[in-house]
Structures are given as structure tokens and as C-alpha cells.
Amino acid sequence: MTIQAGAEQVTFEVVSPTADKQDSAGSPIAPRLDTLNGKVLGLLSNSKPNAEVALRAVAEKIKERYPDLKIRLYPGSIRFEPELLRRAIEESDALIGATADCGACTSWLIHDGAQAEKAGVPQVTIVARGFERDTDTSAKVFGVPGLRYVVVPRVFTALTAEQAAEQTLPVTDDVIRALTEDAGHDEGAAAEPEEEAGEWQESYTFRGAGAVEAVDAFNTFYLERDFGDGLPLHPPTRAKVEAIVEAQGRPGDDLVLTVPPLHGSGTLERIAVNAAMAGCAPEELPVVIAALKAIAACPPPMNLSVLMSTGAFAPVILVNGPLVKKLGINSGRSPLGPGLNNRVNIRIGRAVALTLRNLGAWIPGRMDLDTIGTVRKNIQVLGENEDESPWEPYQVGRGLRPDDSTVTVVHTVGEWDLGSNHGPADRRIRSIAARTPTLTQVGFMTSTLAGLQGNEDGLFYLLPPETARKFADAGLSKDAVKRFLLHNMRPRIADVIAPFIDFRERGLVRPEWDWMFRLTPEEQRSQSVQAFNDPSAINIAVAGHGTPKEFVFGTMTTPITEKIIAIGQSGAEPE
């Protein structure tokens, strides 16, 4: 930190939390067609409501102008199956994709369009207004910064089929130009904000009549540039950043990971800058890095979906092992709460969120298109209360040792305080099963929609030690509790199928589940079905202290556990 104190003037320099400006170089778009007459026009429908309606409407209007045009529909999912996308590219002379009107579907549709352009097939994507910035950024990420799109006024999911067609027809000429004109067409492209278009700086200098005024100037500038989370930041002075980096025993320019969703360059130094802004101590950085690696390891398509969706998804970080005590991570009373006991939890979560923001562009309105948002995006960190748990630590169930320090990341969709604190073990576990919400999530998506596999939907329970001991004293292992909950959470069939009636009408429900829709309304109301198909969808950790008040997160990703490589450790396993 460079401080000049004279006549009450204070000057200090801070380091930029962002990577050097994103390289916008990439593949050029494919050559455009001279005419659409006699060509094959492929329609990439990503299964979103009204996507096929919009595509058919504009394609039929184009065919009026080009009578010899052949139209082929390729119905897929939010992330097209590679074989379906390959076939569409091989069989089509040009492609139209729809719809880009949510965070994840926009990014994946641009990803698929970029693959077509790289293969030499011109394409255009139908994008809802408000998603232009996401589209432009995604096009750069996927290597085709000039990718073309047209903009319609409203999101398709808010419209009737008639309204969807009505708003799409006026962009027909734009679609034709995007497929047939080689130059001078930037339909719908949004100008980059000044802070993105301006020259990137390695550092910034702030002055003030005293330290408070100088720090206020720093915070005002950084928050106006959207470098922060809305709360006051710690100045990441060069000395502070260097101290964090040097403690890791690695060069600052080491590339630790590419940070999602933008896949920005996460060098050790840039992660350290964001950790310094959160107030982290050097020994806390390995936890931050392990959490970021776990987030980046989420398999597709959920790796982008959970960070870019219009839904309120957010990562939660569970820490296990000796580092919980060593660092002072709270695992006891109110580990997800505020205050002194949670200062380390909060610093680590904040550092992860700032890194995702500044290196991964996880920023509302840019790559994060969340409609309403959630306070869970102030990322929550807690330790498992291993000392008071009657069961093995969480990471042991993931194949690691009790003395391994780990982070486990799961992306959550909601949280509920169950509070079933009365009665013996059998009553308590039945109460937990009865009180657990199962229909506030996507629910059954893995079994009904094409393209999604695994346990994208699930539950993560935080059981207080008193509840866990009650179950253990009754002879229940952690796995036994999970199996009981699996078989005893049974929502009504009428409630399960309600969100998927339109999917069935569009042929997207898998045949093995069609029987539920064929039941009479009375049968659907009177019969229930198991909420989850696999025990691995249910996870349990022990946390908190005191009264047995159980807590559960709904989850959108399978938990990912990453070993923490603490300062002074190597990443190699002992022989």
C-alpha cells in the first residue's frame, strides 16, 4: 500500500479484480447464402414453450418468398444432443434457432449456433429483448463474436401461441438478411457498456483528505464499475495481494482455472485480488480455490444453467476436515448466520462470489439472468459439525479420508426450516419426510425431459447433532435415514404432473411416465408417487447446535467434492 500523508492527504493504489480484457478474436461467421431458394432450412427448437411456434411461423413466411425452400424441424432440448446437432448441421444449408429467452437456454442456443457457424452453415438465433448482452457475451465465449441474431419484444414463455407467432413474423426480413447478407448486418447487437469497452487497467489510485475519504472514493468507484457486491469492499492493495499470493508458494500468474460462466482467466493473482476485497486471510485462499474448482467441475448442461438461468439458483459450500477448526469456520450455532462467529464463513463465501463476478461475469443482467434473485447468491459457507456428529464426516461418504479437508458445492434452488423437533426417532423422521417440499423444484425433469441425466433435482439436509444422535441411538445409519426419506416422500400425482402437461402435449414426456397422465383426475389426486428415484439425490450433513431444528436445501446439481490443498501441502496423494 502506497500512502502519502501530507496536509492530511492520503493516497493508495489498488489492483484490478478483473482479468485483462476478454479476447474477442475468434472464428468468423460462415459465408452467407446467395439465395434461400432450393435450400434446406433447419429449425433448431430447444423445447422451450412456443419455440417451435415461432420457428414455424417465420419459416413459412420465408417460404412464401422462396417457394422451393425445404424446411426441416429438429426438436431438441436446452442443450442439443451432439448427434442431433451434428445431423442438423449436415442436413441443412442454413439454420434458425429458438428461443433465447432465459439465461441458460440463451447460452446453450448460442453455443449450438456457434458450432454451426464454425462448420460453415449460416445461422440466426431468435432472441427476446433483454437477452442481447447475454447473447453477445456468449457468442464471444464460444468463439464466434460476430454471431447473428434477431430480437423480438417479449419472452416467449409469457405468450400464447398466437402472440408468439405474431411477434416473430415482423422479424422475417431480418432473418433473411442475417442468412443471406455477408456484411453490414449487426441486427440486435448491443453496444458494450463504457466500463467494458474502455481500456483495461492493472491498478487504480485513490486520494482523499484522510484515509476514510480515500477508501470511500475507492468503494464508490469499484461499486460503480460493478466490481463489487453492493457492500463496502476491502481495498486490494498491491502489498495485500502479494502477501496472499506469496503465502501460496506459487507464482501469481499460474492459471488455477477458467472461471464460469464466462470462462475467464482465473490466475492465482486475480483470485487473490478478489479474496483481498472480501477481507480474506492468506490461509483462507485454498478454500476459495477449492470451491471455485468444484463449481467449475459441475457437468454440462447444468454448469451454465445454474449460473445463467432466470431461476434463483445459487451455490452453497460445505467445508469438512481439520481446516474447519484451524481456520475458525463455524459449524456450530447458526453456521449460516451473520456476525462474529461466521466472519470466516462470510469472507470465504464473499471471495468466491466476487471471483465469479469479476472473472466469470456472474453479474445480474450480463451472464446471470435471474428474474428475481435470492440472498443465497451472497454465497453461504458452513462447516460440518463433525465433533458432535454420530456418523462419519460427509467427505468420507464421498470416498475421502476423515483427515482430508474438503469443500462440497451444491447449487440450491430454495431452503426450508423443517423444525420437526418432537417425539422419538420414528415420529421425527416421518415428520421430516412429510414436511419436506418436493414440488418447488423442477421435479421429475431428469425422468421426463430429453437431454438431462443424473440427479439434477435433489435435497441436501442439514441435521442438527441432537437429531442425528436421536436417529443413531435408534440404530439408523445415515444411509438408512436417506433410504427412509427416499421411500416416504410421496407427492400427489396430480401435483407432480401439473407443471408438465404442456411438455406432454409437445411429446417431451418419456413413455415410462405417460401412465400418470392417463389416470382420471380423481386417481391423480388420490394416488401418490415416490418423489425421487435414486438415494444419491438425497444428501445429509450434520451442522448447527442446540435445539433439533432440521433444515433442507432443494438442489439443482449433484454435490461436487473437492479436496483443499492447504498452504504447505502438495496436491499429491501419499503412497
What is the per-residue pLDDT for 99?
80
| C-alpha–C-alpha distance, residues 490 and 263, integer Å | 40
Report residue 73: phi and psi, to 5°. Answer: -95, 135
Domain ranges of the chain: 40-180, 238-490+530-563
- How far apart, in whole angstroms, are the C-alpha atoms of residue 232 and residue 349? 15
Write the pLDDT tens digit of every residue in 329-375.
Answer: 999 999 999 999 999 999 999 999 999 999 999 999 888 888 899 99
Query: What architecture is the 40-180 domain classified under in CATH?
Result: 3-Layer(aba) Sandwich (3.40)
**What residues pair up with 205 in beta bridges, in sequence order?**
13
Separation CA 452–CA 379 (nearest Å): 26
User: Which 3 state secondary structure label does DSSP give 528?
Assistant: strand
| Residues shown for the chain | 575
Q: What is the pLDDT along the chain (575 residues), one digit of tens a residue?
A: 444 555 578 999 999 999 875 554 578 999 999 999 999 999 999 878 889 999 999 999 999 999 999 999 998 877 788 899 999 999 999 999 988 777 778 888 888 999 999 999 999 999 999 888 888 888 887 889 899 999 999 998 889 999 999 999 999 999 999 999 975 444 443 334 334 445 788 999 999 999 999 999 999 999 999 999 999 999 999 999 999 999 999 999 999 999 998 888 999 999 999 999 999 999 999 999 999 999 999 987 778 778 888 888 999 999 999 999 999 999 999 999 999 999 999 999 999 999 999 999 999 988 888 889 999 999 999 999 999 999 999 999 999 999 999 999 999 988 999 986 678 899 999 999 999 987 645 444 444 443 445 556 789 999 999 999 999 999 999 999 999 999 999 989 998 888 778 778 877 777 878 898 999 999 999 999 888 877 888 999 999 998 889 999 998 888 999 999 987 776 544 33
Provide CB contacts within 8 A for 288, sequence distance 6+.
271, 275, 280, 348, 351, 352, 355
- For residue 47, the model assigns a pLDDT of 79
Contact 483, 476 (CB under 8 A): no
* Residue 317 and residue 352 in contact, taking contact as beta carbons nearer than 8 Å: yes
C-alpha cell at 342: 461466521
- C-alpha–C-alpha distance, residues 136 and 86, integer Å: 23
Contact between 80 and 17 (Cβ < 8 Å): no
**Residue 81 and residue 451 in contact, taking contact as beta carbons nearer than 8 Å:** yes
Distances (CA, A) of 3 to 210, 213, 242: 10, 13, 17
d(CA 276, CA 236): 5
**C-alpha angle 319-324-330 in degrees, rounded to nearest 5:** 85
pLDDT at site 572 = 47
Predicted pLDDT of residue 193: 38
Q: Which residue has cell 492493472?
A: 202
Sequence-distant (≥ 6) Cβ neighbours of residue 256 within 8 angstroms? 266, 267, 268, 271, 289, 292, 293
Q: Say what the pTM is.
A: 0.85
**Tell me, what's the pLDDT at 403?**
95
pLDDT at 185: 40
On the CB side of 342, how many CA atoms lie within 13 Å of its CA? 16
- Position of cell 478454500? 287
| C-alpha cell at position 329 | 469456520
At residue 450, the pLDDT reads 37
